[in-house]
Structures are given as C-alpha cells and as structure tokens.
Structure 1
C-alpha cells in the first residue's frame, strides 16, 4: 500500500491518497480525516461510491465543512485512477462490494455510512444487505437499479421505455470495442461540444452546467468499465435487499431519465423503511445540480 498527501481540488483540506491492491486490480482511495476526539463514533467512515460514469471527483460539491467522520472517496477498479490492471472480466456487484469492504477493512474502519451515486447507490444497497452489522446508513443518489438491470439484460426490448440508458450503453459498448484506441478517442471527443450533447440527458437544465463539469465527466468516461458494470447489474438478485436493516435514504431528481419513480417504489416494496425523496429541479446528478439540498438530507439521515 502506498500513501500520499495532497490538497483537495479547492485547496481547503488535506486528503491522504492510498493505493491498495484488490482482487479486481489496484484501487486508489482518498481519505479526509474527521474532527479527531469530537468524532462521535471512532472507526466509522462516511464512504462515497461513484457511478459508472464518474469517479471520486463527483462528490466534492457535497463535502463542504469539516467532517464529523472520516470521509473515504474510492475510485473503484476500472474508473478514475484505478484503471491499471483492472480485471473487468471478473466484475460483479458482489465482487465490487468485496473490494469496497476489503479497502475499508485495510484502512481500519469497523462501520460505515454509505453514499452512492448511480451505480454506486446500487453497490451501497448490496453492501448494506451483505454486511448489515457494519452498515450504519445508506444514502443513494439516483441509484440505477431495477430499470437499468432490465435494460442491460434486454437493451433492444427496453429502447422505448429507457432510451437514454440504452443509447448510452450501446455507445459505450461500441467505443469499448475499439480496444486500446478507446481511451484516446474518449479524450479527443471530451474536448468538443459532442460531450455536452451526449451528457445533456443527465441534467434537468444542461445550460446551467459549466463546461468544466462536462469536461470532467467526459474525462471520467470508461467505456469498457461502463459495459462491465451493466453486465454485472443485468442478472442481480434484488431479493437480497430484504436483509437491509439500517436507515436508507433513496433520492432521485424529478427530471431523472436514468432512475424512474418506479425504481424508488420497487425499492420501498423490498425495503419498507426506506425514505424516498424526489429532488426538484434536478436530473441524475443531484450532487452537482442540488448539492446544498442533498447535503441537508444527508445531515438529517446521520443525525442521532
């Protein structure tokens, strides 16, 4: 394991950067330490899990203020700075969850509050079901679950009902088929207006999203990893979530085309104690479009 110190992208806080070996390849993790002796539960971390179109850089807008617990921001194998040697052929929800818990064990955490965006929300719910005694809470931000699983399993059949996701999946599969040339193509396209057009369905009002944010999301695109994540979701057994015992907050934007209202309703059938919230004026990235609103929800979830 290697450890480095670096300022966050706003220069406000020191992050410890760890590189850890896992069964799916090396995993780069950033840790921002909590308020020391004032931390209400030593050994507990707030853990942030990004989506299949993202990395740890999706979360800084909701990380303002000093943390009560340590904050752990993970680039899952295959994304961000964790692409070298990623074993995409072994991807599954279960394998990715094992990576997360192995990382947290290596860092010395006994319990965790999970915050997952998109695919990260799917992953957080699985971890809560598989490790119920160690999961203190789960907050999902537009978790891509039931609808995406069906669309990944039968994309052409789902084209009419889930056009944005199916279109994205087919695009990612096509680019991934280019093999080693794919990253160069993604970088080249990322600096053009095409990226804004491709990503516009993610947002309620794309015109308000800065070019820097769009460019960052384009840079985070990992076509092969996106395709592998879709395969992992396609045949998942959602009945496992009946084992979730911790508080659950499930959110979606009111203009979210990737997480329909039916996903939250089906989650409530399996996890009846889940709190469901639709965030107004928001698409798939509440952590970018409505960070203050989302942060208040997270604070309420974690308050005693």
Structure 2
C-alpha cells in the first residue's frame, strides 16, 4: 500500500515492499536488443526495443542498464512503450573513454544513441549522475525531451559538495569521503571491493547507500561492486562541480523528482532547491529509502511515474 501526504509542493510516499526484485541481466525478458553505437566518446552499448512513447533510462554512478531492471519488473516491462537503456562510456559494458566524460559529452552520447535508433523524442528517467545528465539533455535539446524524472538525483547539494569538499564533510560526508577515497586508491579500489565481497564484508561498506542493505537480493550488491568505477565517479564529481545549475531554469517540460529520506548522497532539501529553480517541478519523498529508489522501492517509483 502507498500512503500519500498531499502537501502543496511534495507528496510523501511509503511502501511496505522493500527491494522486492533482483537485478537481472536478462535482456530477452523485456524484448531488448543489444546494439553498439559509435559516439565521440567511443562505442556505447545500448539495450533497446521499438515502441510508442519511448523512454530513455540513464543510470548513475555504480550503475548500468541492469540497474533499471527492478523498475521494469515493477512496471510490467512498461507495456508497449519503446525502451532505450544506455551504458554510459566507462560503465556497464561500454569501454572507458580516454578521459572521463563531462555533462556535455554525456548528452552528446545520448543524442548520438537516439539518432542511431531513429528515436525523435523521449521521456527521460535518470538516476544519481544520470539525473544530472537528464536535466542537461532537457536544457540543450528541449525538442527531444517530453519529460524528465529524477530518481535519487544528485543535484544541488552534491554539486555544492563537489565544489567545497572540506565544508562538505559536514553536509554530505558519505559522498565526500567516498570521493576522496576513490581519488586516492584509483582503480585498485575495484579488486579490493571484490575481495571484501568474497569474505562477506561488503554489506557493511554498502550500508550507508541503502536503507536496509541486509534485505537486498545478492544480485543488487554484486551489481554495485561491479559498477563502482573510481575514474567515472571522480570524473562525475568534477563535472558536477563545474556545472551551472541555473541553466536548469530553462527547462520547460514536466519534471518529477523522487528522493529517499535516507539518501546519503543527496539531501531532502534538494527537493525544495529544485522547486526554487523550477517552480512547476513535482517532488516526491520516499520514506525508508536510500540512494537507489528504483531498486529499493520500485513499486513506489513506478506508481509515481504512472508506469504501473
């Protein structure tokens, strides 16, 4: 059941089903075809299918196209809609670019993908870093974006923390410490995380990211370990620090922002800050939820976006 508090700027949604679905790499389940699209940042792997009213899913840090599969499950595969799920350069199965991509290059990649698939316009759903990229796509290519949904988006507080890492130790300590740790350890962090997963310690390290790490299907943590790419994370932080969020004021399409109350990579205040930038934005706060709302509460996210 979903409990809704209809206040003027925000609905607070709770659900009794926490992380009910695993992460699956079964493209055939949703009729998805794997395609490699050449882009200016290198070849990009896309899972897609044709259909009406196409949706573009943009994952975040420690994500790939598979991170969206719990939401697809909750949404019944989103009916007969077209789907485009991208592995951004350096994530999932897409090879890493020579240098981490910034927001402009990420949008150029998405545009190349949509052009290659002959998809004219989309409803964009972005998680974490992907939410940032989704908003920038709506800024620079408004004719291609019908709506934007930000799922656990790293927006105002994260951009500020990326610019002010010392002061951010008080405002966003988890994000700031992870950024510093990955900057120091670099790619050696990946085999270290794998070793910690092998001895059963990983849940303790991942606990801040999820509201109830012990209740997750093992596939969720496996995907988290596999997709945490240090160079991509630190590059994304630099891109956020350099971005002018006032550009979002130009967005005219409908925007929905979904956040978890327990998200350590964002702040509940981000919802109000987003409304200050975009007075028409709809904001939804999920109780008992960390940084992966589409994994932790996929049913609530699906209902909020009108997909179920």
Q: TM tier, shorter chain?
A: 0.7 to 0.9
Distance in 2 (CA, whole Å) between partners of 1:21 and 1:190 is: 34
Higher relative contact order (CA 8 A, sep 6+): 2
Distance in 2 (CA, whole Å) between partners of 1:204 and 1:245 is: 33
* SS of residue matched to 1:88: coil
Aligned-pair CA distance for 1:32? 3.0
2:94 aligns to what?
A: 82
Select the residue among 205, 212, 218 that pairs with 1:211: 218
Output the TM-score relative to the length of structure 2.
0.86
2:57 aligns to what?
A: 48
Select the residue among 124, 147, 162 that pairs with 1:152: 162
Aligned-pair CA distance for 1:88? 2.1
* SS of residue matched to 1:12: helix
- Which consecutive unaligned segments of at least 5 residues does structure 1 have? 1-6
Distance in 2 (CA, whole Å) between partners of 1:114 and 1:293 is: 18
Distance in 1 (CA, whole Å) between partners of 2:235 and 2:197 is: 21
Aligned-pair CA distance for 1:83? 2.2
Matched-pair contact (CA < 8 Å) for 1:8–1:14: no
1:131 aligns to what?
A: 141
Distance in 2 (CA, whole Å) between partners of 1:190 and 1:32 is: 34
Matched-pair contact (CA < 8 Å) for 1:191–1:215: no
1:245 aligns to what?
A: 252
1:106 aligns with 2:123: no
CA displacement 1:183-227 (0-9 Å, x = unmatched): 444433443433222211111122211222112211111111111
Distance in 1 (CA, whole Å) between partners of 2:287 and 2:244 is: 31
CA 120–59 in structure 1, closer or farther in 2 if over 3 Å, else same? same
Aligned-pair CA distance for 1:33? 3.4
CA 107–11 in structure 1, closer or farther in 2 if over 3 Å, else same? closer
* SS of residue matched to 1:149: helix
Distance in 2 (CA, whole Å) between partners of 1:262 and 1:254 is: 10
1:16 aligns with 2:33: yes
1:29 aligns with 2:46: yes
1:69 aligns with 2:69: no
Distance in 1 (CA, whole Å) between partners of 2:34 and 2:27 is: 16
Of 103-112 and 13-22, more deviation after overlay is shown by: 13-22
1:298 aligns with 2:308: no
Of 188-197 and 247-256, more deviation after overlay is shown by: 188-197
CA displacement 1:160-203 (0-9 Å, x = unmatched): 11111011111221221xx5x55444433443433222211111
CA 197–23 in structure 1, closer or farther in 2 if over 3 Å, else same? same
* SS of residue matched to 1:169: helix
* SS of residue matched to 1:278: strand
Distance in 1 (CA, whole Å) between partners of 2:37 and 2:194 is: 26
Distance in 2 (CA, whole Å) between partners of 1:295 and 1:94 is: 29
Distance in 1 (CA, whole Å) between partners of 2:148 and 2:131 is: 8
- RMSD over aligned CA atoms reads 1.9
Distance in 1 (CA, whole Å) between partners of 2:90 and 2:246 is: 27
- What is the number of equivalent residue pairs in this alignment? 282
CA displacement 1:48-86 (0-9 Å, x = unmatched): 1011121111100111324332111100001111124x1
Of 262-271 and 190-199, more deviation after overlay is shown by: 190-199
CA 198–182 in structure 1, closer or farther in 2 if over 3 Å, else same? closer
Of 202-211 and 162-171, more deviation after overlay is shown by: 202-211
Distance in 2 (CA, whole Å) between partners of 1:231 and 1:9 is: 33
